Structure 1
Amino acid sequence: MRTTKQKIFFGLKITAAILVLLILGLFSFRNSLLEQILAKSTAKAATEYDCDFTIQSAAFEGLSGVNFTNITLVPKKADTIFRIEKMKTSVNLMQLFLGDLQLGTLKIQNGYVQLTKKGKVRNFEAFLKKDEEDVTTGDEKKDYAAYAYRIISKVLNLVPTDMNVENLVFKLNDNGRKATINIQRLSLINEKIETIINVKTNTFIQNWRIKGTANPRAKTADIRFFNVDSGAIKLPYFDERYHLISSFDSIRVNIQNISKSSGELHFDGFASITNLKINHPKIANKDVVIKNAKFDYRFLLGSDFISVDSSSTVQLNKLKLHPYLSYETEKDTLYKLKVVIPKMKAQDFITSLPDGLFSHFQGMEATGFFSYNLNFKFNKDKPNQLVFDSNLKKENLRITKYGEANLNKINSEFVYRAIIKDVLQRPILVGASNPNFTPLDQISPYLQKCVLTSEDPSFFTHRGFINEAFKQSIVKNIRTKKFSRGASTISMQLIKNVFLTREKTLSRKLEEILLVYLLENNRISSKERMLEVYFNIIEWGPDVYGIGEASQYYFQKKPIDLTLNECLYLARIIPSPSKFMYQFDTDGNLKESSKKVESFLTNIMIKRGLLSIDDTIYKTQPVLISGAARSLLKIIPRDTIKIDSLIIPKLTPMPVITTKK
Structure 2
Amino acid sequence: MKIQKSTLILSLKIFAVLLLVVLCGAYFFRATLLQQALAKITSKMNTDYNCFFSVKESAFEGISNVKLSQVILAPKNSDTLLNIQHIETEIALLPLLVGDIQLGKLQLSNGYIQLTKKGKIRNFDAFLKKDSDDIHKDDKRDYADFAYRLISKMLNLVPVDMKVENVTFKLNDNEKKATLKINQLILANEQLNTQLAIKTNTFEQRWRINGFADPRNKQADIRFFNLDTGAIKVPYLDERYQLIASFDSIRLNIDNIQKSRGKLHIDGFSSIVNLKINYPKIASKDVLIKNALFDYRFLLGEDFISVDSTSTMQLNQIKLHPYASYQTANDTIYTLKIAIPKMQAQHFINSLPNGLFTHFEGMKATGNFDYKLDFKFNKNKPNTLVFDSKLNKENFKILQYGEANLNKLNGEFTYRAIINNVPQRPILVGVANPNYTPLTDISPYLQKCVLTSEDPSFFHHRGFINEAFKQSILKNIRTKKFARGASTISMQLVKNVFLTREKTLSRKLEEILLVYLLENNRIVSKSRMLEVYFNVIEWGPNVYGIGEASRFYFQKAPSDLNLNECLFLASVIPSPKKFMYKFNNQGNLKEFAIKNEKFMRNLMLRRGVLVTEDTVAQKPIQVSGNARSYLHITVPDSLTIANDSIKELDEFDF
| TM-score of the superposed pair, with normalisation by structure 1 | 0.94
**Does the C-alpha gap of structure 1 residues 639 and 591 become closer, same or farther in structure 2, counting only changes over 3 Å?**
closer
Match of 1:627 among 601, 606, 625: 625
> Secondary structure of the residue that 2:622 maps to in structure 1?
coil
Residue of structure 2 in register with 1:131 after alignment: 131
Residue of structure 2 in register with 1:537 after alignment: 536
Cα drift, residue 150 of structure 1: 1.0
Residue of structure 2 in register with 1:262 after alignment: 261
The 5 A counterparts of 1:490-501 are 490-501=489-500
Mapped partners of 1:326, 1:564: distance in 2: 51
For residue 90 of structure 1, what is the amino acid of its counterpart? E
> Secondary structure of the residue that 2:42 maps to in structure 1?
helix
Paired residues in the alignment total 639
Residue of structure 2 in register with 1:554 after alignment: 553
Cα drift, residue 384 of structure 1: 0.7
Residue of structure 1 in register with 2:646 after alignment: none
Mapped partners of 1:377, 1:109: distance in 2: 51
Residue of structure 2 in register with 1:659 after alignment: none
Cα drift, residue 98 of structure 1: 5.8
The 5 A counterparts of 1:434-513 are 434-513=433-512
**Does the C-alpha gap of structure 1 residues 322 and 448 become closer, same or farther in structure 2, counting only changes over 3 Å?**
same
Cα drift, residue 99 of structure 1: 5.9
8 Å Cα contact 2:372-2:389 kept in structure 1:
yes
Residue of structure 2 in register with 1:228 after alignment: 227
Mapped partners of 1:377, 1:639: distance in 2: 56
8 Å Cα contact 1:171-1:178 kept in structure 2:
yes
Cα drift, residue 130 of structure 1: 2.2
**Does the C-alpha gap of structure 1 residues 568 and 639 become closer, same or farther in structure 2, counting only changes over 3 Å?**
closer
For residue 52 of structure 1, what is the amino acid of its counterpart? F
> Secondary structure of the residue that 1:400 maps to in structure 2?
strand
The 5 A counterparts of 1:203-282 are 203-282=202-281
Mapped partners of 1:522, 1:160: distance in 2: 61
> Secondary structure of the residue that 1:294 maps to in structure 2?
strand
Mapped partners of 1:131, 1:5: distance in 2: 50
Mapped partners of 1:312, 1:364: distance in 2: 30
Mapped partners of 2:443, 2:533: distance in 1: 15
| TM-score of the superposed pair, with normalisation by structure 2 | 0.95
Cα drift, residue 196 of structure 1: 1.4
Mapped partners of 1:262, 1:597: distance in 2: 60
Cα drift, residue 17 of structure 1: 3.1
Mapped partners of 2:637, 2:109: distance in 1: 89
Mapped partners of 2:47, 2:508: distance in 1: 51
Mapped partners of 1:158, 1:184: distance in 2: 21
When structure 1 is superposed on structure 2, of 40-49 and 233-242 the one drifting more is 40-49
Residue of structure 1 in register with 2:647 after alignment: none
Please state if 1:410 is matched with 2:397: no
Cα drift, residue 543 of structure 1: 0.6
> Secondary structure of the residue that 1:71 maps to in structure 2?
strand
1:143-202 deviation line (CA, Å, top 9, x unaligned): 111111111111111100000001000111122211111101000010011111111111
> Secondary structure of the residue that 2:268 maps to in structure 1?
strand
Cα drift, residue 134 of structure 1: 3.3
8 Å Cα contact 1:359-1:404 kept in structure 2:
yes
Please state if 1:287 is matched with 2:289: no
Mapped partners of 1:52, 1:225: distance in 2: 36
Mapped partners of 1:287, 1:639: distance in 2: 55
Residue of structure 2 in register with 1:658 after alignment: none
Cα drift, residue 34 of structure 1: 2.9
**Does the C-alpha gap of structure 1 residues 370 and 609 become closer, same or farther in structure 2, counting only changes over 3 Å?**
same
Cα drift, residue 91 of structure 1: 2.3
Cα drift, residue 410 of structure 1: 0.7
Mapped partners of 1:308, 1:637: distance in 2: 66
Mapped partners of 1:131, 1:367: distance in 2: 60
8 Å Cα contact 2:257-2:264 kept in structure 1:
yes
**Does the C-alpha gap of structure 1 residues 639 and 269 become closer, same or farther in structure 2, counting only changes over 3 Å?**
closer
8 Å Cα contact 1:180-1:199 kept in structure 2:
yes
For residue 617 of structure 1, what is the amino acid of its counterpart? V
Mapped partners of 2:636, 2:560: distance in 1: 32
8 Å Cα contact 1:45-1:51 kept in structure 2:
yes
> Secondary structure of the residue that 2:598 maps to in structure 1?
helix
Please state if 1:600 is matched with 2:599: yes
Please state if 1:589 is matched with 2:600: no
For residue 425 of structure 2, what is the amino acid of its counterpart? R
Residue of structure 2 in register with 1:108 after alignment: 108
8 Å Cα contact 1:101-1:158 kept in structure 2:
no
> Secondary structure of the residue that 1:69 maps to in structure 2?
strand
> Secondary structure of the residue that 1:145 maps to in structure 2?
helix
8 Å Cα contact 2:37-2:96 kept in structure 1:
no
**Does the C-alpha gap of structure 1 residues 33 and 300 become closer, same or farther in structure 2, counting only changes over 3 Å?**
farther
Mapped partners of 1:502, 1:26: distance in 2: 73
8 Å Cα contact 2:587-2:637 kept in structure 1:
no
Residue of structure 1 in register with 2:171 after alignment: 172
1:197-220 deviation line (CA, Å, top 9, x unaligned): 111111111110011011110000
Mapped partners of 1:331, 1:99: distance in 2: 42
When structure 1 is superposed on structure 2, of 156-165 and 195-204 the one drifting more is 195-204
Mapped partners of 2:366, 2:557: distance in 1: 46
Cα drift, residue 101 of structure 1: 4.2
Mapped partners of 1:62, 1:309: distance in 2: 49
Mapped partners of 1:413, 1:97: distance in 2: 87
Mapped partners of 2:146, 2:116: distance in 1: 30
Residue of structure 1 in register with 2:396 after alignment: 397
1:390-440 deviation line (CA, Å, top 9, x unaligned): 011111111111111111011110110001122210000011111111001
Cα drift, residue 92 of structure 1: 2.7
Mapped partners of 1:341, 1:97: distance in 2: 57
8 Å Cα contact 1:324-1:337 kept in structure 2:
yes
Cα drift, residue 60 of structure 1: 2.5
8 Å Cα contact 1:101-1:157 kept in structure 2:
no
When structure 1 is superposed on structure 2, of 200-209 and 34-43 the one drifting more is 34-43
Residue of structure 1 in register with 2:574 after alignment: 575
Mapped partners of 1:383, 1:142: distance in 2: 24
Cα drift, residue 11 of structure 1: 6.2
> Secondary structure of the residue that 2:605 maps to in structure 1?
helix
CA RMSD of aligned residues (A): 1.8
Cα drift, residue 6 of structure 1: 7.2
8 Å Cα contact 2:37-2:101 kept in structure 1:
no
Task: Show structure 2 runs of 5+ residues with no match.
Answer: 642-654
Please state if 1:82 is matched with 2:82: yes
> Secondary structure of the residue that 2:66 maps to in structure 1?
strand
Mapped partners of 2:438, 2:195: distance in 1: 70
Residue of structure 1 in register with 2:22 after alignment: 22
Residue of structure 2 in register with 1:655 after alignment: none
Residue of structure 2 in register with 1:118 after alignment: 118
1:28-84 deviation line (CA, Å, top 9, x unaligned): 454444333322221222222221111112222222222111111112111111100
